[in-house]
């Protein structure tokens, strides 16, 4: 049997003059898409012949000569041995320095100095009995050659007393009258203490010290001892206390001498630290001893040489000067 489907013409026949209806369109035929099975063992894509990818060759570099690396020495741990080595080196240099100093002192004994000493002729050359070798030394220069000479002034006449003089260093100012009556004259020494000179006795404003106790104005006694100045008897007095001079000067300490010039005249010379003043009394005292050594008496009759000064029995006192 024909599987062709029946149409209206088959049933009713073809009509004439009547517009026939358009024949129905044939049903759309669907074409099935074939399923493509993958081919075993070959690539699925692409359809053109397969060629494996070409790998890029690495760049060619020249061979580098390798430098052999020395093995690193392990650092030794610091120990006390390094400290001992350092200490030993320091000690070695100290000993070396000490040996050098010692050798220099030894060699210096055999090397002549720059100024050759004048050697006396040997006994064989002079023909004298052998004795002690000695070198001639030059006397020290006169350190007092530049000192200036001054004279003592009388408080009564205001004139110099002829025959009594002393010297002072050039840097010390000339003595001036301590007051209007000029019973004493004074100046300052380099250390700050005050130097005072005064004539005492008959015809002077200050009394003679002989037969009296040497004390300050308030009666404080000085320590005294017998001595000589320029060949004349004298009394050395020292007071390490705060006192007052006959002229009213307050002092902290004093050192002086009173010298017998003749039977009725005496000379006082002292130095003291004024109260409240800072002075180098010790250095000034050494200079004071030199000043006393320059005192000169000319034209005065000397007293009996070696006569002793008797201990004062009078209650009256002789206070140091400084008006």
List per-residue pLDDT tens for the chain, 323 residues long: 555 666 666 666 665 554 555 555 666 665 566 666 666 655 555 555 556 665 666 666 666 566 666 666 666 555 567 888 888 899 999 999 988 888 888 877 666 555 455 555 554 444 444 443 334 444 455 578 899 999 999 989 999 999 999 999 999 999 999 888 889 999 999 999 999 999 999 889 999 988 888 988 888 899 999 999 999 999 999 998 888 888 778 899 999 999 999 999 999 999 999 998 999 999 999 999 999 999 999 988 755 443 334 334 334 455 676 55
The answer to whether position 168 is within a domain reads: yes
Domain that holds residue 282: 150-299
Domain count along the chain: 1
Burial of 217 by CB count in 10 Å (0-12 exposed, 13-18 middle, 19+ buried)?
middle
The answer to whether position 65 is within a domain reads: no
Q: What is the dihedral of CA 11, 14, 15, 17, to 10 degrees?
A: 160
Residue 114 is classified by DSSP as: S
The answer to whether position 292 is within a domain reads: yes
The answer to whether position 234 is within a domain reads: yes
Cα–chain center distance at 244: 42
The answer to whether position 91 is within a domain reads: no
The answer to whether position 69 is within a domain reads: no
The answer to whether position 275 is within a domain reads: yes
The answer to whether position 15 is within a domain reads: no
d(CA 20, CA 18): 6
- Which CATH number belongs to the domain containing residue 160 in this structure? 3.40.1000
């Amino acid at each position: 049997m024909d599987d062709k489907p029946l149409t209206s013409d088959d049933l009713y026949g073809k009509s004439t003059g009547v517009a026939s209806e358009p024949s129905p369109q044939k049903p759309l035929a669907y074409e099935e898409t074939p399923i493509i099975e993958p081919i075993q063992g070959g690539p699925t894509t692409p359809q053109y012949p397969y060629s494996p990818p070409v790998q890029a060759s690495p760049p060619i570099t020249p061979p580098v000569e390798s430098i052999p690396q020395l093995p690193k020495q392990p650092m030794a741990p610091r120990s006390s041995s390094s400290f001992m080595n350092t200490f030993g080196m320091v000690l070695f240099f100290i000993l070396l320095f000490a040996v050098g100093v010692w050798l220099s002192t030894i060699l210096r004994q055999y090397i002549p100095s720059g100024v050759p000493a004048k050697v006396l002729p040997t006994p064989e050359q002079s023909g004298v009995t052998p004795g002690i070798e000695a070198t001639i030394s030059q006397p020290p220069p006169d350190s007092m050659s530049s000192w200036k000479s001054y004279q003592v002034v009388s408080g009564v006449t205001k004139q110099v007393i002829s025959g009594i003089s002393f010297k002072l260093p050039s840097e010390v100012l000339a003595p001036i009258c301590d007051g209007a009556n000029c019973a004493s004259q004074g100046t300052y020494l380099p250390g700050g203490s005050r130097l005072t000179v005064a004539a005492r006795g008959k015809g002077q404003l200050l009394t003679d010290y002989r037969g009296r106790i040497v004390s300050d104005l308030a009666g404080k006694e000085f320590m005294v001892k017998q001595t000589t100045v320029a060949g004349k008897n004298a009394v050395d007095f020292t007071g390490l206390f705060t006192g007052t001079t006959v002229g009213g000067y307050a002092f902290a300490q004093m050192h002086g001498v009173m010298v017998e010039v003749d039977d009725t005249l005496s000379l006082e010379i002292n130095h003291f630290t004024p109260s409240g003043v800072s002075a180098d009394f010790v250095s000034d005292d050494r200079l004071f001893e030199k000043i006393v050594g320059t005192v000169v008496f000319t034209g005065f009759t000397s007293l009996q040489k070696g006569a002793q000064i008797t201990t004062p029995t009078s209650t009256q006192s002789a206070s140091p000067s400084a008006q």
